[in-house]
């Protein structure tokens, strides 16, 4: 445990000090990649993993897509698989809210996609799909940039397959 804490501290120092200066947290033309883990999943087991990618089309708006995947096993031969694929757009509030911290990006967004859910019962040899169809996501989030290109992020609301996502973000 002590080695893990030491490594985490050294990695944080390296990320913070290895890049000179910060530009604003979000701007037109940025390409944003989020890699996250869903927390407070809609399902009682399985950890949703997801990725989203957006491109800045104005100084306040970015658009892109998102994919989330989760699977789990209830230990009695029952298991499930769930997938979300959709488009998303975000409004970045920094200028509107007069946020002066160049490391912080505050945003909210809307997504529209397809969610599928299927389960299997290996004990009885059956399974089926249900709850498949259109899904609307509404979320609020924030990113804190540790360097000019790397941030941690949190999103709350309907975020694909969970009510919240946390993870790491990259800006290109």
Q: What share of the chain is helix, strand, coil (3-state, %, to 5)?
A: 10, 60, 35
What average pLDDT is seen over the chain? 84
Cβ atoms within 10 Å, residue 32: 23
Q: What confidence category does residue 96 fall into, taking pLDDT thresholds of 50, 70 and 90? A: very high
Q: What confidence score (pLDDT) does residue 72 get? A: 83
Report yes or no: 146 and 16 within 8 Å, Cβ to Cβ: yes
Handedness of CA 107, 27, 39, 73 (dihedral sign): positive
Q: Which tens digits make up the pLDDT trace of 13-52?
A: 444 444 444 457 788 889 999 999 998 776 666 789 999 9
The conformational region for residue 25 under phi > 0 = left, psi -120 to 50 = alpha, else beta, is alpha
Structure pTM? 0.78
3-state class of 5 per DSSP?
helix
44-70 pLDDT per residue, tens: 667 899 999 999 999 999 999 999 999
Topology, domain 26-171: Porin (2.40.160)
Nearby residues of 45 by Cβ (< 8 Å), 6 or more positions away: 72, 73, 74, 80
């Amino acid at each position: 445990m002590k080695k893990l804490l030491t490594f985490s501290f050294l990695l944080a120092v390296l990320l913070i000090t290895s890049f000179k200066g910060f530009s604003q947290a979000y701007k037109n033309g940025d390409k944003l990649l989020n890699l996250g883990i869903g927390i407070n999943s809609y399902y009682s087991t399985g950890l949703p993993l997801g990725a989203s990618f957006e491109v800045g089309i104005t100084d306040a708006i970015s658009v892109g897509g998102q994919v989330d995947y989760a699977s789990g096993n209830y230990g009695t031969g029952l298991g499930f698989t769930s997938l979300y694929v959709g488009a998303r757009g975000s409004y970045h509030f920094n200028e509107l809210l007069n946020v002066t911290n160049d490391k912080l990006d505050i945003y909210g967004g809307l997504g529209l996609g397809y969610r599928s859910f299927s389960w299997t019962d290996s004990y009885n040899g059956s399974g089926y799909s249900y709850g498949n169809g259109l899904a609307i996501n509404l979320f609020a989030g924030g990113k804190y940039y540790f360097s000019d290109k790397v941030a941690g992020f949190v999103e709350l609301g309907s975020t694909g397959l969970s009510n919240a996502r946390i993870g790491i973000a990259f800006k290109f």
